[in-house]
Amino acid sequence: MSTVQAAVSRWARRRPGQWVPDDGRRGDAGRRWVWTRGRVPAAFAVLTAALLAFHRAVPNSAGRLGSLLEAFLPWLGLVVVVLLGLALLRRSAAALVALLLPVAAWTYLFGGLLLPGAKSGPHDLVVVQHNVSDENTDPVGTARALAGAGPDLIALQELVPPALSAYERALASDYPYHAVRGTVGLWSKHPLTDARLLDIKPQGIAVPWSRGMRTVVHTPRGEIAAYVAHLPSVRIRASGLASSWRDESAGLLGKALAAEQLKTVVLLGDLNGTVDDRGLAPLTSRMNVARRGFAFSFPAGFPLARIDQVMARSAAVADIRTLPATGSDHLPVAARITLR
């Protein structure tokens, strides 16, 4: 062996995880090394899969960590992408195989939402849900943008004077029927009756607070109970997720939905929670949610979660999507609903 060959051989033996063995005697060891490295990415892959598959097992007793995880659950897919990069960088077969677990779990939970919804097809209602923001400086432009989507129903939250009169004037020609209770309202192409305030106010809120209503929509397919709600906000703090008022309000709304006598129900609202968040279980356990679309709606500048929801009972929410930004800090969402 020449001097150069000997030096190259010594250098090859010093490289950890050498893929190509420097001589025949090291071949098996070189191949086994691929499976013994990358244990940390592999462990994180298993942990990520466990969080996806068993997120309900994460306790909510301390800082509502379970709800905090569930609020951003789809974003664990980014962790999988990072781990994939590390596995390729480390040339770790063990990490690549372990990544099959979170990929399978994420696909099971959210893969269906990625499938494209039919741009046309059988549906009975198109609805738009939007928190218009009490600081919106262009209510007329917002109203026109929402009406431009051609929905049958438009649900709005944070309606405050004098913006309320601007929405009423801008929507009057296309939506002759509307009802407003407190700071929430519903505009409709179909007649509305029996509009009433819905008490979903948590006991700890002492100030005047009216954020729920119920009305009946008379559609060509029959009567629908329409609920419009704006649940209390949540805050992320050093101690965790502050969502007790939101959870209490969701419980009150869930009881109202359970007592509803009409068969078909549509719920539209800023619920300040995702459909995966167990804090909304009083609603999601009784209502159907969208089959297609993520429709992240908040914050409008960089949407991280869909907290504006469309749910239905005895009806299917075929798909949900976001509309272009308005003067609000939320994006509007539009959904197609098929009655049963």
134: nearest Cα among 162, 169, 159: 159
- Same domain, yes or no, for 134 and 167? yes
Last residue of a domain, one of 56, 80, 114: 114
- Residue 13: pLDDT band with limits 50, 70, 90: low
Say if 317 falls within a structural domain.
yes
Residues 133 and 209 in one domain: yes
Q: Do residue 137 and residue 82 come from a single domain?
A: no
Are residues 320 and 173 part of one domain? Answer: yes
**What one-character DSSP code corresponds to residue 234?**
-
Domain match, 68 and 38 both: yes
144 belongs to a structural domain: yes
Residue 119's pLDDT band, with cuts at 50, 70 and 90, is: low
On whether both 107 and 135 belong to a single domain, the answer is: no
Residues 274, 305: contact at Cβ < 8 Å?
yes
Tell me, yes or no, whether 120 lies in a domain: no
The answer on 129 and 103 residing in a single domain is no
36 with 175, same domain? no
Identify whether residues 207 and 82 lie together within a single domain: no
As for how many domains the chain has, the answer is 2
Residues whose CB is less than 8 angstroms from the CB of residue 127 and which lie 6 or more positions away in sequence, other chains included? 151, 152, 153, 154, 155, 266, 268, 310, 334, 335, 337
Q: Are residues 165 and 99 in the same domain?
A: no
Please check whether residue 82 is in contact with residue 61, taking contact to mean a CB–CB distance below 8 angstroms: no
Identify whether residues 138 and 232 lie together within a single domain. Answer: yes
Looking at the DSSP bridge assignments, the partners of residue 176 are none
What is the value of pTM for the model shown? 0.87
CATH number at residue 293: 3.60.10.10
pLDDT of residue 240: 86
Domain extent for 159: 125-339
CB 100 within 8 A of CB 314: no
Could you tell me whether strands 308-313 and 212-219 are parallel, antiparallel, or unpaired per DSSP bridges? unpaired
pLDDT digits (tens, 9 = 90+) for 275-290: 999 999 999 999 999 9
Asked if the structure places residue 177 within a domain, the reply is: yes
Q: How confident is the model at residue 90 (pLDDT cuts 50, 70, 90)?
A: confident
In Å, what is the CA distance from 39 to each residue of 102, 247, 289? 16, 40, 39
Domain assignment present for residue 302? The answer is yes
Instruction: Provide the pLDDT for residue 155.
Output: 98
Taking residues 125-153, what's their average pLDDT? 97
Among 114, 137, 155, identify where a domain stops. 114
Q: Does 211 reside within a domain?
A: yes
Q: Which of 65, 88, 114 is the last residue of a domain?
A: 114
Residues 189 and 325 in one domain: yes
Residue 119 lies in a domain: no
Quick one: pLDDT at residue 118? 58
Asked if residue 153 is part of any domain, the answer here is yes
